[in-house]
Amino acid sequence: MITNQYPDKVYFSNIPVGKTPIVCRIMAIMLTIIFMQATVVLAQTTARHPVSGKVTSPDGQGLPGVSIIIKGTTNGVASDVEGNYTIEAANTDVLVVSYIGFVTQEVTVGTRTQLNVGLKEDQKMLNEVVVTGYGELRKVDVPGAQTTISSKSIEKTVNTTVEQAIQGRAPGVYVTQNTGAPGGGISVNIRGINSINGSNEPLYVIDGVQIQVDNSTSGSNPLATLNPSDIESMDILQGPSATAIYGSRATNGVVLITTKRGKAGDVRINYSYLYSLQKPPKALEVMNMREYAQMDNEYKALNGGAVREDFLDPSILGEGTNWQKELFNNAPMNKHQLSLSGGSEKTTYYLSGEYLNQQGVALGSGFDRGSVRLNLDNQARKWLNLGANISFAQTNEQISTTQYDIINNAIQLSPAIAVRNIDGSYGGGEVRTNPDGSTSDAERFTPPNPIGLANLVTNEIRRRRILGGLNATIKITEGLEFRTSFNGDFGFSNGNNFVPTYQFGFQRNATSRLTVRDDFSSYWNWNQLLQYTRTFGKHRFTLMGSHESQETTYRATTAYRENFPTNEIIDLNAGGAANQTNGGGQNSWGMESYLGRLNYNYGDRYILQANFRADGSANFGAGNKWGYFPSISGAWRVSEESFFNVPFISDLRLRYETGLTGSQGNSGPIYARLTLYPTEWGNGFLPANYPNANFQWEETKTNNVGINLGFLENRFQIEADYYVKNTDNLIIESSLPWYMGTTGAGNITAPIVNVGALQNKGWSFSLNSVNINKGSLRWESNLNISHFKPKITKLYTESSSIARNAPSWYMSPQWSQRSEVGETPWYFFGYIEDGIFESVAEAEASARPADNNGDPYPVDEDNIWIGDVKYRDISGPNGVPDGIITADDQTNIGSPWPQYFGGLTNSFSYKGIDLSILLTGTFGNDVYNYVRMRNSNPNGINLGQNMFKETLNYAKIGVDAEGNPMLENPGTDIPRMTGSVNNNYGRHTTKYVEDGSFVRVKNITVSYNFPAALLARQKFIKGARVGVSAQNLYTFTKYTGYDPEVGTYVGPNMDNSTSPIGVDTGRYPLTSIYSFNIGIDF
Amino acid sequence: MINKYIFAGALVTITIFSGCKEDFLERPPLDTLTTDIFYNTDAQVLASTAPLYNVVWKSYHDQASFHLGDVRGGTTWYPWGTTGVRENVLFRTTGVTQSSLDAYQAFYNVIGQSNMAIYNINKFAGENVSEAVKNQAIAEARFMRATAYSYLVMNFGEVPIITNNVEEMGNADIVRHTIPSIWEFVTRDYLFAAENLPLTALEAGRLTKWSAEGMLARTYLTRAGVGHPDGTRDQASLDKAKEYAERVINMGGKQLVRPYENLFKYPYDNNSESLFELEWTTTGTNYAASNTQTSQITPFAEIAVNNDGWGGSFGATYWMLSLYDGLIDKGTSPTSEDDGVKAGFTVDQRLKASYMLPGFQYPEITVKNAFGPNKAGDKLTVPDPGTSDLSQAYIKKYVVGNELNGVPASQQRYPNNNYMLRLAEMYLIYVEATIGNAESTTDQTAINYFNEIRNRAGLPNLVGPIRMNRTWNADPTVYKDDVFEERAKEFAMEGITWYDLVRIQYYLPEKAYAIINNQDRGGYVAKPNRFPNPTGWTFTKTSWFADRNAVVNSGNFYLQIPSVEISQAPNLNSPAIDYDFGG
């Protein structure tokens, strides 16, 4: 016998729950005890016999996954893929057979051993349960706006990360991919724009773990560690009655993610494999070597300088290097997924494992993930239910492509440079000889060889994450339940960025360097909840009260060394000690909340719900810590009234909700921090920020009216919502003028303030229809379309507008977006461009940029000339056009927000074949094509840079018959080429504002389920299906860049408060993916 | 069943008591200090003004300092378009020119951080802080603030004066102040600094009374012309400039570093000639606290620490080279077309210390990768331009190579300091203040001081008179400005010449415009007469190079306040007012 090596005391005191408050620790210990007991509980035995049968739908097909439970117990099984089930039952037992969308049937077992059940479709879906904040509600009891996406539809598209599955499937939810890079971030906006501080991302709640996504500066995605295949459903809470229960974190909506759980019955084993091939994007048209040489020669002819020796006769040159072709390749993606689920009446489990490997279409990018999940449920006692879920995931992301701006480099690099030189080394800008013996070193300004960089640099982030929780539910008396849950999220990430020595011509790195960054983050949330449900007569009510505390801590360590003797061993130990550095950083946040909900239903006709939440957050100073968020909502099911008698309307429900949600921004605005700077005399300290002691909650008040309509036995269902959201005390970093010392090195960051108010009006509409349901052919459609319109209503600043300026090193000239009262938030701020001057007379008659005295620059070749940009004079210091072009002539030149967006799904099924087509679309938004601006400046040729082919048509100035200067190619919109300075590329103008509308064939999937009859010939495989799909197959758009879906791209080293919105800065494009998948059930 | 109630009861009890501790919702930063717990000792107060010597100047120092101070001033040029530098060569800067943005931001960062230092020291410094240290720290902050305002007013003209960033935050009524009142503000700050800074530096490189008095000399000299576009400078201010210059020369305990080139040979930081420097350090390889300008001006990647020599397109202007005695030989023809035909040479040692001509050898710079005539490990020999018709007299001043006496350095992280004020300027300020409103002087002290500077550079004595003609003329026998030209040679690449032109523009705008418009800022090739070891150079203007001259007038002399700033602070469009000094 083994002696007790771990006396209880020692064991429990070592439970690794971190530095949580003592009460929390006790809780964890108690749960552990309960859980250990639970595993030894023996099943009760009574006189039972096996009963088996088949559950079928009205069309005679077997229904898989139907729950068959012995009434009055929690014992039950689920039917298999063909609808068959077997259960042990006593003669007196009553089987409760239920399945979502069908009328629940109760059948007394009697002496029968074979019991087939035909379920009828439940048109009213009365008992369908939906997940909502802090619990589940019958769908009919939910008075607010909420959308559910099931695993069935998630599995139709190729999703490497969870948010990708939402796009086009939920009304009111605007999803844009920030970057097409594998594992990259996505922006999800529920009901438009409610905040202006950069993040409009919803709160994600994954089995109770609350995750606030804030796209990090690396542009990668914190949700990328989740395996989408583990998701049972995603519930998107939109209206205030559902979101208000999350109070201060819910202004941007809530996405509840529920993972799959086991069902009692046979072990179900499922294996699936997915192979995808991702295609390169359609290349942007840049000049080939002949065109490049010709333009270089033309520049020299105009502005002086000797023609390059190899460019003497451009016509004999080849195409040169096609850098985009070199960079983008077909890239495979593989995914293996294995899951096991099942269990006894007492204990059910779901166990899954996944391995995903995705190479990026651009060199230097890639993503892989391995994850395991175990979800357990145990009925320990009649009155005690225990649950546990834990998942572990590791991801590895290659981010060189985005971090080293490799795509932009590929667009800009000269076609005259070879990928590799004859000796095998990577090519780069060189000193070129001219025929006169002189040399040209223009290529000194070319970017580094992107292929070389992508192949040589190592830049990866490895993340490990444990996400999980324990919960216990105690049934105290009939209808009264107490539930406590402890959930945690622990993440560790390691970033390695190694730049070896290299030489690409002028571009040379002589010092190899390695930066390592380790982050550790932890989150815990402990919730206690009491719920009472009671039905008497036609009254049914549920009362819930809860307390919750949560905490996050974060800690980072960075280290840097250089001069590595080889490029093989990438570890700090292998680097030189000189110039080594290290750094740290940590923070913590905590919140405590009290919340409650009352849900009342009278005869399924009148439904009323009230929520209240009080949040106390560490982000605020004394007096402002607590925020209160009430909401109230009601629904009237008119169709249930006795007076309602419209035969073709089967369901009519009117809804109204109103409530308050909030946002608490990030931690720290109330403190005046100091930054350390080294000085000659030791460490020096400067104020880092202006503190704001009065910092307070951002509050959003929402009014929502909705209607649900069902026609012809709900064959057609319409759901529509209209809402008005008023957000007050908008949180943002104040946009102080630079004279307050707020920009540049050593600046003082402007305070985080409550700056103003915003109104957001919108509607969403969805239509579900069963178009054909005849025999074995079924055609269903889902159409959803949404609209939102945000408008700034108040600014509490002294100035009439606030600006969001991208750093000038990132976008040059400096890019601004603005918010001002009466306008859409963050409209593009720039000049209106009216083509280019085609004659001297036109230039003389037009407003022109002016000197310090307000005098327009003269019309001559050295100043403003034919071929220069004509800006529109719209204003002046007094608000009226003043005949000169100044900063006053900037205006709203575009909006990043769409007017309409939506999705259309059509699914066809015929016998075992399913076909589904998903179209997504966005209409009315503008995209600022910065890539085009940067690459259509003909003067770039003088810096050895390539550009878009359209640049060849730059304004060419000749002389007419009378010897007067004239434009040789009227109608061109590319300004002239000039060695001296003019203003043609110094301003952001309407010319680069493009319509970002698009319709995308997002996905076409054909799948085939092998018929049961065929599979019945063997016992091993119970179900099998194969499918092929094409994703992002085609995009209908007028946008000229790679991809109109720009999102709020976060570039390297950019933070949310300054990153441009709706601007294409050369992001990683989304490309088409062709997939094959196979799934087998054992 | 009893179990159940006990268990549930226990859980509910825990719940009731789990309202976690009070401080659960109090979370001050864990990784940074906060102002309320700092400024408690002398050392902490001094640590709060130490970064005012480096990081806050960064955005200006990195590139704008020489793009404005030298490129705009005409000593240094850059041939290529499409970058912001060319706009400074030709005076075509706009509200989006990068150097304007960088300079404006940096100066207001200096002001903001200086104001915050004053504010926080007054608010938080307790009884453990000595009065002397408190006063010194505030004096340092006011000195820095004055320096930033003097640069602001000379680049942008009328700008707003901010003195308390906490109180003035969000005030939309802030307007620009007039040029004379900004100069008065600057003077008052320097006067306070002169009274409160110590006679000797507490730590090497920190400001002293003499730093402030030196700045007062410069300030009064410049102020003398403010508000006098008629050409007559204010005599009282001239006298003050002369007085302060003389005090610093005689009482400041400073002396000239000899030979001249040692001023810029690393290590040279905080030497006997220095009165005020930006104090860069590579400790911790912090980007903001390191000298990054070196990477921008080092002409060859092969001599930089890590390939970061990006200054190969910068060089002395033809005008600058023409100032060095004998360098551009006129040959036999009197017309300017023949300039530089015959190989010329100069004994002025400042040329080699400021700019590189082909064939110059620099034993203090080791070549890391072979290029031109150099093998790896060689001492630098500047390459021959060969048959090229466009070359550069590359920047040498502040180009310190890669060895740095063993002090750690890496790409864009150099440790060498930059002079903001050195003793040599006091001599030349004395001379200029002596000439005052006259056209020349034969004052012996002035001539002696002038020759101190010339002699150190290896030049013979100038007998006198020292001339400063008030009207520019193309004929060198009619027009001469010995002081301006001497200053250009002495301070080339120290970011000063442009501000000398602003000083002239205050009282003789047409002269300032004429000087600039006649500076040759175009392409040329400098050819050695033999290679290696040349004994002279010819200078041939590049025939195809257009745009040799800037065209400057009142409309483009000053920089424009950045467009972004005007857009976010439209109050800057309002007319400037006099600053209210409150009686």
Per-residue model confidence as pLDDT tens digits over A581-596: 889 999 999 999 999 9
The dihedrals phi and psi of B230, each to the nearest 5 degrees, come to -75, -10
Average pLDDT over residues A767-794: 89
Higher pLDDT, B415 or A203: B415
Say if residue A11's pLDDT is above 60: no
| Residue A809 contacts B where some CB pair is shorter than 8 Å | no
Looking at the complex, report in whole angstroms how far the Cα of residue B443 sits from the nearest Cα belonging to chain A: 40
Distance CA A426, CA A503 (A): 8
Distance CA A814, CA B563 (A): 9
Q: What band does A1020 get if pLDDT is binned at 50, 70 and 90?
A: confident
Contact yes or no for B554/A853 (Cβ under 8 A): yes
Residue A679 has its nearest CB partner, among B7, B28, B289, at B289
Say if residue A481's pLDDT is above 70: yes
Best mutation target, B13, B21, B35, to test chain A (most A CBs within 10 A): B35
Tokens linked to B247: 């005090």
**8 Å CB contact of B33 and A674:** yes
Most confident of A32-36, A627-631, A773-777, A799-803: A627-631
Q: What band does A8 get if pLDDT is binned at 50, 70 and 90?
A: very low
Provide the CB-side half-sphere exposure for B222 (13 A, CA).
25
Convert the pLDDT of each residue in B479-507 to its tens digit: 999 999 999 999 999 999 999 999 999 99
Tokens linked to B213: 């008095």
Say if residue B96's pLDDT is above 50: yes
Say if residue A958's pLDDT is above 50: yes
Strand A606-617, strand A203-206: pairing: unpaired
Average pLDDT over residues A373-393: 92
Q: Which of A168, A28, A163 is nearest to A766 (CA)?
A: A168
Say if residue B274's pLDDT is above 80: yes
Neighbour tally for A266: CB within 10 Å: 18
Instruction: Please provide the DSSP assignment of A884-938 as one string.
Output: EE-GGG-EEEE-SS-SEEEEEEEEEEETTEEEEEEEEEEES-EEEEHHHHHT--G
Average pLDDT over residues A386-395: 93
**8 Å CB contact of B25 and A616:** yes
| Residue A482 contacts B where some CB pair is shorter than 8 Å | yes
Average pLDDT over residues A238-244: 80
Say if residue A618's pLDDT is above 70: yes
Question: Could you tell me where the beta strands, DSSP code E, fall in A184-330?
Answer: 186-190, 203-206, 209-212, 231-237, 254-259, 265-278
Convert the pLDDT of each residue in A665-707 to its tens digit: 888 889 999 999 999 999 999 999 999 999 999 999 999 999 9
The mean predicted confidence, pLDDT, of chain A is 85
Distance CA A330, CA A20 (A): 49
**8 Å CB contact of A685 and B38:** yes
Distance CA B341, CA B538 (A): 5
Contact yes or no for A937/A950 (Cβ under 8 A): no
Note the pLDDT of residue A39: 39
Convert the pLDDT of each residue in A20-78 to its tens digit: 444 444 444 444 444 444 333 333 345 778 888 888 877 677 777 787 888 877 677 87
Q: Which of residues 113-172 of A touch B (CB under 8 A)?
A: none
Higher pLDDT, A219 or A624: A624
Distance CA B572, CA A738 (A): 12
Say if residue B6's pLDDT is above 80: no
Distance CA A491, CA A221 (A): 13
The dihedrals phi and psi of B251, each to the nearest 5 degrees, come to -110, -15
Strand A1063-1064, strand A926-929: pairing: parallel
Looking at the complex, report in whole angstroms how far the Cα of residue B475 sits from the nearest Cα belonging to chain A: 27
Q: Please give the model's pTM, rounded to 2 decimal places.
A: 0.86
Tokens linked to B532: 């290696």
Q: Which of A792, A633, A969 is nearest to A196 (CA)?
A: A792
Distance CA A363, CA A453 (A): 9
Q: Is A283 helix (H, G, I), strand (E, B) or coil?
A: coil
Residue A23 has its nearest CB partner, among B17, B81, B159, at B17
Note the pLDDT of residue B211: 97
Q: Is the peptide bond before B465 cis (omega within 30 degrees of 0)?
A: yes
Q: What band does B244 get if pLDDT is binned at 50, 70 and 90?
A: very high
The mean predicted confidence, pLDDT, of chain B is 92
| Residue A562 contacts B where some CB pair is shorter than 8 Å | yes
Distance CA A704, CA A193 (A): 16
Convert the pLDDT of each residue in A421-460 to its tens digit: 999 899 998 877 777 777 777 787 788 999 999 999 999 9
Say if residue A9's pLDDT is above 50: no
Q: How far does CA B562 lie from the centroid of its chain?
A: 20
Tokens linked to B124: 């938080």
Of A803-807, A977-981, B253-257, the least confident: A977-981
Best mutation target, B307, B391, B549, B552, to test chain A (most A CBs within 10 A): B307
Q: What band does A4 get if pLDDT is binned at 50, 70 and 90?
A: very low
Note the ipTM here.
0.93
Distance CA B416, CA B421 (A): 15
Distance CA B544, CA A599 (A): 85
Task: Please list the helix, strand and coil fractions of chain B in percent, rounded to the nearest 5, in that order.
Answer: 45, 10, 45
Outline where A164-318 has alpha helix (H).
240-243, 289-303
Q: Which of residues 822-851 of A touch B (CB under 8 A)?
A: 829, 849, 851
Say if residue B75's pLDDT is above 90: yes
- The one-letter code for the residue type at A253 is G
Contact yes or no for A802/A732 (Cβ under 8 A): yes
Looking at the complex, report in whole angstroms how far the Cα of residue A517 sits from the nearest Cα belonging to chain B: 16
Calculated CA dihedral for residues B2, B6, B8, B14, nearest 10 degrees: 180
Task: Tokens 């269990």: give the residue.
Answer: A343
Q: Which of B323, B322, B368, B313 is nearest to B67 (CA)?
A: B313
Tokens linked to A207: 């089995």
Of A467-471, A488-492, A977-981, B344-348, the least confident: A977-981
Task: Please list the helix, strand and coil fractions of chain A in percent, rounded to the nearest 5, in that order.
Answer: 15, 50, 40
Distance CA A876, CA A874 (A): 7
Q: Which of A332, A339, A374 is nearest to A356 (CA)?
A: A332
Tokens linked to B420: 């903001």
First to last CA, chain B: 86
Most confident of A10-24, A49-63, A897-911: A897-911
Calculated CA dihedral for residues A417, A422, A424, A426, nearest 10 degrees: -10
Of A153-157, A491-495, A831-835, B222-226, the least confident: A153-157
Convert the pLDDT of each residue in A331-358 to its tens digit: 999 999 999 998 888 899 999 999 999 9
Note the pLDDT of residue B81: 67
Task: Tokens 């000439």: give the residue.
Answer: B435
Q: Which of A859, A853, A850 is nearest to B509 (CA)?
A: A853
Say if residue A327's pLDDT is above 90: yes
Say if residue B142's pLDDT is above 90: yes
Distance CA A540, CA A533 (A): 7
Q: What band does B332 get if pLDDT is binned at 50, 70 and 90?
A: low
Percent of chain A surpassing pLDDT 90:
42
Tokens linked to B401: 């190579």
Note the pLDDT of residue B387: 83
Contact yes or no for A438/B390 (Cβ under 8 A): yes
Q: What band does B5 get if pLDDT is binned at 50, 70 and 90?
A: low
Q: What band does A1048 get if pLDDT is binned at 50, 70 and 90?
A: low
**8 Å CB contact of A813 and B96:** yes
Task: Tokens 């225990």: give the residue.
Answer: A386
Q: Which of B454, B446, B453, B484 is nearest to B468 (CA)?
A: B484
Convert the pLDDT of each residue in A812-824 to its tens digit: 788 889 999 999 9
Of A301-305, A411-415, A967-971, B414-418, the least confident: A301-305
Note the pLDDT of residue A220: 55
Convert the pLDDT of each residue in A712-740 to its tens digit: 888 899 999 999 999 999 888 888 899 99
Higher pLDDT, B252 or A980: B252
Name every residue whose Cβ is closer than 8 Å to that of residue B238 and which is 6 or more positions away in sequence.
B220, B221, B224, B433, B436, B437
What is the torsional sign of CA B242, B245, B250, B255? negative
Contact yes or no for A386/A380 (Cβ under 8 A): yes
Best mutation target, B21, B26, B27, to test chain A (most A CBs within 10 A): B27
Task: Tokens 């640590």: give the residue.
Answer: B47
